[in-house]
Structure 1
Amino acid sequence: MARTVGHRPLARRALAATAALGLAAFGCSTAPQAVTGTKADAHPTPVERSAAAPSPAGYDPLPITADGASRFETTVDGRAVVVHAPASNTGGNVRLALVRRGTPVALDQASCVTWHGPNTHNVQPGLVLQARRHDGRTQAITVSDNIWYGARWTLNVHLADSAAAEPMHLVGQLDLAGALGRSMLDLEPFPWRLCARIRGTAVTVKAWSLADRDTEPSWTDAGHTDSLDVPTTAVHPGRPGLYIGHLTPGDATYFSDPTTR
């Protein structure tokens, strides 16, 4: 992989500017959509929204963990998705799965998204596989960026169950250091493209920096992928989508070009 090591300090400075610009970085409106609960997702075409709608039109928010009255606000504009935690929030442990309405329910599936950062505080982007909600209970396989000790080249695989005593059960951690950088001081520049898929019980994750390469690596590229198996009992029909967690009050995170298959 061709790496622009010399550009990384510049990329980190540019990231702060990207965060400040928010949706303007995508050429979109910067006015957030206030919603009760936590919600978001995106589509390549503009999405109509109503102030009375419980979630952005066309998308289902599937809450995994709550934190008092804390909530997220989401703006969906074309291919851009911005999720924001209002400054009035009192906690940072909200976790949310986001799936597009009409996405087929299946066993084998994949989800991808481009993450523009920032990688500050506990901002935690990710993906969900086999997400489903029934009788107020959300279950999913989540693949999320590690936020402990800044080791963001590690992706965590959890079995999420909002009704369980342990709503996030860790299955394992996947090492993407070859793709994302081996030090918190020398991470690959943003934006990052993150993908996850499940085939049977095998969960494979793929990641790369779009600043370093403009071609997608294959699912067998050892430098950009890692995989593990989840228990057979964890495999259920569901839908792929996005994951967002741990936004502290006032934080926002920026996505674009989510795809599922």
Structure 2
Amino acid sequence: MDRRLHVAAAAFIALAVTSGCSFEVSTGKESKKTQKSEKASPSASASPTLNGIDGLPPAEIVDKSAEALRRAPSVRISGTMKKSELDLKMDNEGNCDGNVTQEGTHIKIVKRGAKVWLKPDHAFWVQTLGEEAESTEELLGGRYLLTSIKDPKFGSLASICDISGFADSMDDDEAGETVAKGDRKEVRGTSALELIKTQAGKGPSRLYVARTGQPYPLEIHGEDQGSPAAVTLAEYGAQFTFTTPGPTEAMDVEKLGT
């Protein structure tokens, strides 16, 4: 069973990389619900003080945006891909709480420092363990699986719940890529600058960076397996409450056996 758990963890880690977007997913279309041209915004002239990114080279804006995210006190990251969804609240002290869904399976994740609690659903166990799923679920009895960031089987899943990890994926340069400035947009009431990344063999991706206050990344749009994909970064600086499962609500991953 250990090997299957490891394979399952690897699949969700791959989802984390996709979700982080690496500034590589984009539909090439703006969301009509969250974005609109500044020309159509009557309040554009009354916007807060600009942060100066307009005058910087595109690549430098990406770097500054990644660094702003890296230093953010907290953020909520949510996204939808072809067969995957995530909704995670996290802070820069190593705390995280959220949900990740992939191809019909779901995992609830709670992280506090080095400790990680995971609660996979029935579909996950069936897909991962097959005929062993029922006995595993009986052993767990509805409890969380308690592990740590150092655990070779599931610990790496904590990379999903890491602000720095998402920031690192944003400014991870790749060979043959180019970044150019696009339009100015309004994203959820904040003036933003569009940055368009192109690379041979891949569709364009669009990053929207706040033009006022901190140059936070606000949205990333792209494509996942030929379908629209989008990641939203919001609620910067929010005071999230992270509640960890109690001793009777979790079981150490080692007790699952091999």
Q: Provide TM-score, normalisation by structure 2.
A: 0.26
Structure with bigger helix share is: 2
Higher relative contact order (CA 8 A, sep 6+): 2
Flag the structure with larger Rg: 2
Q: Provide TM-score, normalisation by structure 1.
A: 0.25
